[in-house]
Structure formats: structure tokens, C-alpha cells
Amino acid sequence: MKEYLLVALALLGVLIIGGLSLVVPRLRRRPEPPLPTTEVDTRTEEDLAGPPVEAPEAELSTGVVVEAPPVGAPPIEVPEPTAGRLVRLRSRLSRSQNAFGKGLLGLLSRDRLDEDTWEEIEDSLITADVGIDSTREIVDRLRERTRVLGTRTGDELRTLLATELVNALDPSLDRSLRTTSTDGVPAVLLVVGVNGAGKTTTCGKIARVLVADGRTVLLGAADTFRAAAADQLETWGGRVGAETVRGPEAADPASVAFDAVKRGIEVGVDTVLIDTAGRLQNKVGLMDELGKVKRVVEKHGPIDETLLVLDATTGQNGLEQARVFTEAVNVTGVVLTKLDGTAKGGIVIAVQRKLGIPVKLVGLGEGKDDLAPFDPAQFVDALLGTEPLGRDA
Ligand SMILES: Nc1nc2c(ncn2[C@@H]2O[C@H](COP(=O)(O)OP(=O)(O)O)[C@@H](O)[C@H]2O)c(=O)[nH]1
Ligand SMILES: [Mg+2]
């Protein structure tokens, strides 16, 4: 009997301990995921606690309302690091550039590179939106080098072509974004471009990149033309815990931009990103508006970076529009969006050469982290579609 009791007790003990060991880790594990959120949230609550003290802000300024991320908003996200993004750039581009790459490499591996073949090579570059001038230059150099080196094999020609394409993108250009604050004053980044080019989306994506790198960011919604534009920007900011400064609908964009930088200085963020409107019905009006935004913001100090956002799918037409912006503000970098949606990736070459401004970032999709730093060599490899070529042939 005693033995039975002991065995039963032992069994019970084992069951209880076993049960606990199953439950306890789960209990322990469960609170873990929200941890990073709580940490970041605490910071936001401090931010939230800030504005009530400074409530007179609204009276001081031009009626611009400062809005912190709403209480009870979805948990703040930790964006994907930028490191792996070039790999994605490759695959996204290669998908659409494959035909172009195949065609070009096919031409180059012909037995005889006669006049017709060179013309076809030229045509395929022009078709890819490389632009007539750049194409001529690239093909002339390629012909010259082929002649001098006596290069024959398709592989060698491919390397030569890649070299010329990279060269046309001037790999020596500085493509870094100036987003670091100096002497406690935030870096100011102005984002310009026509309607629908992807400005607001790009502002949001850049904010995520900066947050992922441990920076603090404030967004300024200087597209006051539609309230939806400010909402859109605020949504992007809210996801990563960045405050958005916005004004009432139809407020003066320059004053919103001014207040955003002012607020950024007060709060002590690293970077202030200013989203603008891009109506182009009236060139003079747009230039006046942007010129004013620039002047007014510069009362706080110089603008560190002015990014021109261009839609890659608009091809050569987009280039003409781009000029208006380069005349209105001092554009320091180009963001080429929607490269995932065009088979004409050569536009990167045309844009950079025509405008003489480095392409610093490329948009590769509508996803939150579909923005990558631009790298000429990686881009050319993707453009020629060398890797996927063998796979789906
Ligand atoms: N496929 C694709 N869509 C993009 C990209 N960048 C922006 N978009 C889309 O383009 C549309 C317009 O973007 P938005 O940022 O509102 O343009 P804005 O008027 O210049 O502010 C939106 O539907 C975006 O999701 C990109 O790199 N790839
Ligand atoms: Mg917008």
C-alpha cells in the first residue's frame, strides 16, 4: 500500500512539474514580443507628455497643429535594416530587366560585330531609356575598346559593356544622404517632385531607414493641398514613432515647413523630413511656392539635402518636368521610384547624366521598406540580368 502511495505521489509530482515546465516557459515567453514596443512606447509617452506643456504653441505659430502619434496607435514597428536591401534591388530589377539583358548579351555574343549589330545594340539601349546622347557615348566607347583590345568572346564583351554602363553612372559620386545633425541642430531634408511621383511614400521610407539606424526623425507635412497627404505622411511616421507637424488644409506650405523645423530643433531630433506638394499646372506658381519653402526654412539654417523624387515609369517625359525643380531649388540628390514597374531601367543613366545630379536612392515597390541605396555596379549587374539569365533560360 505504502509503495503504491509513494508511486502515486511520485507520479503526481512528475505530472505537476512536467505541467509547470510546459506552462512556465510559455508564460515567460508570452510577454517577450511586446518588450521592444514597450521600450519605444515609453519614449513616445514622454513625447506625448511634452506637447501639453507647450500648448501655447498653437498661438505662437501660424495655426499649425503639432500632432504626436495618437494614443492607442498600433505598436511601433522596428524597420528592416538597410543592409540586405541591395540584394532585393537585384531581384526586383532583374525580373523586369531580363529581356533587355538577354537581348543585349545575345547581340554581343554574335560571331561578327558588324555595323548592323552595333546599331541594334544602340537601339536596345535607347529602348531601355538610356537616352540618345548617353547611348551614343557608351556605344562609341565600347566600339573603340573592342577595336583596341581585339575582344571577341561574349564574356569579355559583357564585361566591357558593364564597365561602360557603370562608368556612365559615375561611381565616384557621393551618394550619401546628409541626415546628421550639426551642433544640436537637426539636418533638414526637403523632398520635391511632381504629384504621384512617390514623395510622401519616399519620406515615409526614409524615415524608416533613419529610425532603423537609430536616428530620431520628425516629419513636416508641407503638402497642405490635400488633407489626405498629411494623413498619409502621419501614418508613415506613426508606425515608427515619428512625430508629424501639419497645418490646417490649405495652410501656407512654407509656414508648415518652418514650424516643422522649429519643432525639430525644440525636440532635438536628428533629422527633419519635409514633404511638399507637386502640382505642376503652373510652373511659375510651383517655383514660387518651393522657392518660398526653401527661403523660409533656411531662416533656421541651411537645408542639408534636397531630394527630387522621379517616377521611373514616366521615362524621358519625367526628365523635362525634373528641370523645373532643379531650377526652383538646389537639388542635391535624385530618388528614382517605381523601378520595379518598368523594363526601362536605363532611365537611371539618362536622369543622372541629363540632370548632373547623383541618383541616391531607388524605389523598388510599394512596401514599407522597398527603398534602397543606389549602387552603380549592383544596378548594372541587375540591369543586364546576368544571374537570373541562366536560371530561367
Ligand atoms: N511600385 C511602386 N510604387 C511606388 C513606389 N513609390 C511610390 N509608389 C506608389 O506611388 C503612388 C504615389 O505615391 P505618393 O508617395 O503618394 O506620391 P506623391 O504624390 O509624390 O506624394 C502610391 O500608390 C505609392 O505606393 C515604388 O518604388 N514602386
Ligand atoms: Mg504626397
Specify the pLDDT at position 290.
92
Specify the pLDDT at position 344.
86
CA–centroid distance, 214 to ligand 1, in Å, is: 25
Average pLDDT over residues 62-88: 61
| Separation between Cα atoms, residue 312 and residue 130, nearest integer Å | 12
> Does ligand 1 have an atom closer than 6 angstroms to the CB of 193?
yes
Say yes or no to pLDDT of 313 above 50: yes
Architecture of domain 85-168: Up-down Bundle (1.20)
CA–centroid distance, 339 to ligand 1, in Å, is: 11
Specify the pLDDT at position 154.
80
Specify the pLDDT at position 337.
96
Average pLDDT over residues 357-381: 92
> Does ligand 1 have an atom closer than 6 angstroms to the CB of 271?
no
Say yes or no to pLDDT of 350 above 90: yes
Closest ligand to C-alpha of residue 222 is 2
> Does ligand 1 have an atom closer than 6 angstroms to the CB of 231?
no
Share of the chain above pLDDT 70, in %: 75
| Separation between Cα atoms, residue 53 and residue 195, nearest integer Å | 37
Q: Name the least confident of 112-116, 301-305, 342-346, 388-392.
A: 388-392
Ligand 1 atom 19 nearest Cα? 196
Average pLDDT over residues 320-340: 92
| Residue 106: band (very low, low, confident or very high) from pLDDT cuts 50, 70, 90 | confident
pTM of the predicted model over 0.85: no
Question: Is 187 within any annotated ligand binding site?
Answer: no
Say yes or no to pLDDT of 71 above 70: no
Say yes or no to pLDDT of 65 above 80: no
**pLDDT tens figures, 159-213:** 899 999 999 999 999 999 999 988 889 999 999 999 999 999 999 999 999 998 8
**pLDDT tens figures, 44-53:** 444 444 343 3
Burial per residue of 97-125, b for 16 or more beta-carbon CB atoms within 10 angstroms, e otherwise:
bbebbbbbbebbeeeebeeeebebbbebb
- Tell me the one-letter amino acid at 169: L
Residue limits of CATH 3.40.50.300 in the chain: 187-374
Specify the pLDDT at position 50.
39
Say yes or no to pLDDT of 64 above 80: no
| Separation between Cα atoms, residue 335 and residue 337, nearest integer Å | 6
Instruction: Judge whether 388 and 98 are in contact, CB under 8 Å.
Output: yes
Residue limits of CATH 1.20.120.140 in the chain: 85-168
Q: Which CATH class is domain 187-374?
A: alpha beta
Average pLDDT, the chain: 80
Burial of 2 (0-12, 13-18, 19+ CB in 10 A): exposed
> Does ligand 1 have an atom closer than 6 angstroms to the CB of 140?
no
CA–centroid distance, 336 to ligand 2, in Å, is: 15
Say yes or no to pLDDT of 253 above 90: yes
Specify the pLDDT at position 85.
74
